[in-house]
Structure 1
Amino acid sequence: METTKVNELGPGPDSWTQVAAWENARQVTHLAWAHPEYGRLLAGGTSAGTVLVWAQTPELQPGGAAEGAEDGNGAGSSGNGSGGYYDALAELPCGSSPCRALCFAPRQTGLVLAALLEDGSVALYEAEEPLTPRAWNLHSKIKAGPSGVCRGMCWRPFSPGVPPMLCMGAGPRALVWQYVLALNSWQVVARVDTANSQDVAAVHWAPPLGRPAELLALGAGRDLLVYGLSGDTAALEAEHLASLVHDDTVWKVEWDLWGNQVAAATDGQQVHVYKPDLVGSWVKVVWVQGQAPE
């Protein structure tokens, strides 16, 4: 049995408290939170190609009839601390290979969840009732690339009038897909080849915020690669802006809320943060050494 745990941060920087823990029959490989306006909604991609969905359920009290109840997936409602009880709402069948990336769409798009699998396929599910997301419909499927090389996935942050876009790694390139409502399908609108020819492991799209070119960060090999995307959204042009090299493989990249700084986490238990200077060169502003795993 696999255990999923939820921790909350207290007033101090190190005051983490476990507020919930429950067991699952499936091995959970990736986790993703929905936007807070949908409540505390958590999704977990599994090694069996399914996605489990849980939600915090305050009415589940210690000693109550619902406590410890399990569904067919072996995922029960459990927790400790104040309001830390989570209920298994759904299991979404995405495919037969392990989940490699998982992310919710921007809240303005609705409660939509995308799962990237080992075989290179992406399944998108939409909740019928966002406030009570027990029933989900398969919205669409994408074949992102060949089996075994697709890693990393993110949504383009919402902008009024711009169709939904997904970016995902497909070997030594990242593909940007746009949903075309008239065709009811997803179309590739940009292909971003990595400057170092390494396979993409992580992607993240910076908030647009009126920039002439949008910013996309890729983690590929030991490099954090920064690209600018410009032009018509139906045929974006990519420009390589920076290659930031590290001693260890980059496995996670992420922009801040304004897209002014980008961070890269490496296998060396380090996080490096960069920002552009006045002439557009990317400089390291801070780095943090994490604790080695026990």
Structure 2
Amino acid sequence: MLQASLLPLGNQEILTDCVYDFYGLRLAASGVDSKIKIFRLNESTGEWAFEHEWKAHDAPITKLSWAHPEHGSVIASASFDRTVKIWQENPGQSTSSQSRWTEKAIMTGARGSVRSIEFAPSVFGLKIASIATDSLLRVYECLEIYSASSWQLIEEIDVLTLGNPPNPPSPALASATPTHLPMNLEEGSPPYASSIHRPSTPTTLSSPIGSLSAPGGIAGSNREADSGWCLSWCKDKWQGEAIAVGAGPEAVIKIVSLPPAPQSPILLATLKHTSSDLRDKDYPVSCVSWAPTAGRSYHLIATGSKDTYVRIWKVSSKLNANGQLASSGDETSEEWEVRQVGEFEDHKSNVARLEWNITGTVLSSAGDDGQIRLWKSISNIWQRIGSFNTHHAVEEVLDNQDDVMQSI
């Protein structure tokens, strides 16, 4: 049966993010007080106990991410102070949280607040992707895995222009989007070259914050509230490195393949949000979650939007007999087929968070309405199987709750 317990947060005003570790036995939480709190589950009682706390940033934290345990106890944090920080636990140190969790690296390249981060599947090494309000997708790789230090920027992609035909930048456009710096175009480069910058030399990112540039901006919008930034890695190692990412006011999620250098990243597919109620505008995507494949021949990707909808997409890649992406020969065509298989408006408010279970069969969604809802495909039809909220714990679980919980 569905059960709930309360975290001992003390006087914490507002939580901004919380995330489980790989085993679901520890929980990292962050808030507007710029601190990270660690809780541990007592498996015998089912209660969560406070373990550690430390101040991690100079501004509210936006996102947290745990690395795979084969890399040790490593947490990444992103913040409105435009940085991503890597923290590593030292169990042999004193019980003081500040000394037990050590800052190993700091990424300072963002020209806006960093809104989403996520570690790559461990099969690809210790890598992390971030998206900031400058709408640049950045991928970093750790060069010293065991110490979690010395990180290198290996990809930097302008999500807003990714997949668009290259056009010479006009003075008017340049002045309208000061945070989008022009990229150099090489003769004979593919259509997406204008969106991609692969650093030519390794960059070690472990220095202090230093000076920061002007706040990031989005063309056609003066408010960050009108936009959304999110990302999620593909969990299937056989597919290769791929990321679903959304940025700015666009009502789309772009799926980007990251082949080994010197090949350029490829736009595989675009998930286009079109409101079904004939609203007068499209709303940005606020969150995205890529489901584990669990042996399926296709991918499931869930998206949440500020138009209040949760959407589930079935994405099929084109692979040849060698398991490689089959190229159509047309550099401007997208390689994957996309079909929407579910659309729900139960939250009736902005959808803020999406998570899949370990088999990719049950989706949980959280909205600004304070509700958490569970979704599952039954007889090939996606439907809600339960819901609860933060005030009354379990609010509703459908009549078939026993069968449902056993299938989760």
Q: Is TM more than 0.5 here?
A: yes
State which of 116, 121, 145 in structure 2 corresponds to 1:106.
121
Structure 1 segments, 4+ long, off by >6 Å, are none
**For residue 245 of structure 2, what is the aligned residue in structure 1?**
168
Which has the higher Rg, Structure 1 or Structure 2? Answer: 2
State which of 163, 166, 180 in structure 1 corresponds to 2:259.
180
**For residue 72 of structure 1, what is the aligned residue in structure 2?**
none
TM-score (norm 2): 0.63
- Gaps in structure 1 of 5+ consecutive residues: 69-75, 78-84
Deviates more, 1:99-108 or 1:222-231: 222-231
Equivalent residues in 2 for 1:143-154, closer than 5 Å: 143-145=158-160, 147=218, 148=224, 149-154=227-232
Letter in 2 for 1:216: I
Contact 2:57 2:79 in 1 (8 A): no
Q: Deviations over 1:58-103 (max 9, x none)?
A: 12114xxxx58xxxxxxx42xxxxxxx2111111123121011010
Q: In the alignment, does 2:35 pair up with 1:35?
A: no
Contact 2:123 2:237 in 1 (8 A): no
User: How far does residue 159 in structure 1 lie from its aligned partner after superposition?
Assistant: 2.6
State which of 27, 45, 48 in structure 1 corresponds to 2:78.
45
**For residue 155 of structure 1, what is the aligned residue in structure 2?**
233
**For residue 73 of structure 1, what is the aligned residue in structure 2?**
none
State which of 186, 191, 210 in structure 1 corresponds to 2:270.
191
Indicate the structure with greater helix content. 2
- Gaps in structure 2 of 5+ consecutive residues: 1-32, 162-217, 219-223, 276-281, 319-324, 328-334, 393-408
**For residue 255 of structure 1, what is the aligned residue in structure 2?**
356
**For residue 60 of structure 1, what is the aligned residue in structure 2?**
93
**For residue 27 of structure 2, what is the aligned residue in structure 1?**
none
Contact 2:57 2:81 in 1 (8 A): no
Q: Percent identity?
A: 22
Contact 1:195 1:240 in 2 (8 A): no
User: How far does residue 225 in structure 1 lie from its aligned partner after superposition?
Assistant: 0.2
Q: In the alignment, does 2:405 pair up with 1:291?
A: no
Determine the C-alpha separation between the residues in 2 that align with 1:288 and 1:249.
17
Q: In the alignment, does 2:375 pair up with 1:274?
A: yes
Indicate the structure with greater strand content. 1
Q: Deviations over 1:160-217 (max 9, x none)?
A: 2x22000012320100000132543322111110132331111111112332331111
**For residue 205 of structure 1, what is the aligned residue in structure 2?**
290
Determine the C-alpha separation between the residues in 2 that align with 1:157 and 1:25.
29
Contact 1:113 1:126 in 2 (8 A): yes
Determine the C-alpha separation between the residues in 1 that align with 2:56 and 2:313.
39
The count of residues paired between Structure 1 and Structure 2 equals 272
Instruction: Note closer, same or farther for the CA distance 1:52–1:231 as it changes in structure 2 (3 Å cut).
Output: closer
**For residue 10 of structure 1, what is the aligned residue in structure 2?**
42
**For residue 244 of structure 1, what is the aligned residue in structure 2?**
344
State the secondary structure of the residue aligned to 1:185: coil
State the secondary structure of the residue aligned to 2:237: coil
TM-score (norm 1): 0.86
